[in-house]
A and B are shown apart, each in its own frame.
Chain A
Amino acid sequence: MPRSNIQRSNVRYSAPNSGDAANSHHRIKILKKVVLVTLAIIAVRLFAIQIIEHDHWVAKADEQHTLLEAIVAKRGEIYMMDGDEPAAVVLNQTTYQIIIDPSVTEKDKIQHALATYAATYQTADLDEVYSEEGLRYAIIAKNVPKSIADQIAAEEISAVWFAKNNQRVYPEGDLASGLLGFVNADGIGQYGVEGSLNNLLSGKDGLLKSTADVNKVALSIGNDNVKIPAEDGKNIVLSVDRGLQKGVEERAINAINNTAASNASVLIMNSNTGEVLTMANLPDYDPANYGNVTDASAYVNYVTDDPYEPASICKNFAFSAAINEGVMTPDTTFFNQHYEEVDDWKIWNAEQRSSLYGTLTMRQALYWSLNTGSIYALKLLGGDPTRINQQGREKLYDYYYNKFRLGQATGIELIEAEGYIEDPNEGWGRDSTYANMTFGQNLKITMLQTATAFSAVINGGYWRTPTVVKGELVDDKIVPLGSTSTGIEDKILSDETSAMMREMLINNRDYKVRDGTDRPGYDVGGKSGTAQVVRNGAYDDTFAELVGSYIGFVAPAGEMPEYVIMVRMWGEGQSIGSGDAMGLFDDISNYLINYLKIKPGA
Chain B
Amino acid sequence: MARPPSRRPGHNRKAQYSLFASYVVAMAGAAIGLLLVVVAMFDPTGFAAIRTGTAELTRPLSTGMKRMVGGVSSIDEVLAAYWQAGSQNVGLRRQVEADRNRIIEAKGIAQENARLKKLLKLVDEDSSALLSARLISSSASSARRFARLNAGNWQGVRPGMPVRAAEGLIGRVHTTTPNTAEVLLLTDTSNIVPVRRANDNVPAISTGGGDGSLEIRALAAGRNPFKPGDLLVTSGIGGIYQPNIPVAVVVRTQGEIAYGVPLANPTKVDAVVVERAFEQVVTRPDPGAATNSDPNGLAAGNAATP
**A and B: interacting chains:** no
